[in-house]
Amino acid sequence: MRYAICFTPPMADPLSATAASWLGRNVYSGEPAELPSVAGLSAADVAYHTAVPRRFGFHAVMMSPFRLHPDMTEPKLLKALMHFAGAQTPFEIDRLEVARIGRCFGLMPQVPSTAMHLLAANVIQEFDAFRAPLSEDEIERSDPDRLTAPQFSNLHRWGDPHVMDEYRFHMMLTGPLAPDAMRRLEAPLRDLFEPCLSKPLSIGSLALFVEQETGAPMRVHSQHPLGKISTNTRAERAKRAAADPSLAPQGAVRPLPLIVAALMAQR
């Protein structure tokens, strides 16, 4: 079994629903999803071009798939991830866009997010002890001859070439495409995803992904909220109470306009 630490939007987020439909698989349940109706593309076209990201699921990786170190266990990993996530502060990425990533399409921030870059680096440093060393075969599969010097160093130090200064937040939507396929898919992808990208992306949790066996589809094992749960709950209650004063707890101070109205009624 392999694990990965990633970001993926909550299950109920419209972006999750759109991505599940486009990729043909729900990353939470692991179940197939009905492919969307996309002008100019058949269901077979969509299925073919999304085969690679379908297996890995809709996510932005922070710590790429790893085998557990022999001294570590899944309960230890879960406990550490829960405590780590609780010590982080939620944040937002201003806006994502459909972008070309090499020969693929994916979602990327219009402006790089410093907060996300720091979070990803902290994940790598915090959980490196949970990772088993790479085997020679795993190193060879990374095609080290094509890596830059910093990427090669990252591969041997952290088990992944694309971490630290080489990290770029992205969520893959296709596998590698031929030039004609890139031209055909770009407009439909923008039409499909842009309604979900008008608001900032909330980074409010980390997801532990699992791969049960080599080559098996990856799916969400568990979600871990950023920040203290009690703090998040109080903030959400306060936000709801501000919108609807009737939801305020008993004994809470009423908003000033309500107090003034009550005094005026007594005159």
- Token match 């100019």: residue? 40
| For residues 163-187, average pLDDT | 96
Q: What is the CA radius of gyration of the chain?
A: 22
Tens digit of each residue's pLDDT (9 = 90 or more) over 82-122:
999 999 999 999 999 999 999 999 999 999 999 999 999 99
State the chain's mean pLDDT as an integer.
Answer: 88
What is the C-alpha separation between 208 and 206, in angstroms, rounded?
A: 7
What's the pLDDT tens digit per position in 36-47?
888 888 899 999
Average confidence (pLDDT) over 138-159: 94
Joined together, the tokens standing for residue 145 give: 């001859």
Q: Read off the pTM.
A: 0.84
CB atoms within 10 A of CB 242: 11
Q: What is the pLDDT of residues 210-228, one digit of tens each?
A: 999 988 999 999 999 999 7
Reported in sequence order, the residue ranges of the chain that DSSP labels E, i.e. its strands, are 2-7, 60-66, 91-93, 96-101, 104-109, 171-172, 201-203, 205-211, 219-225
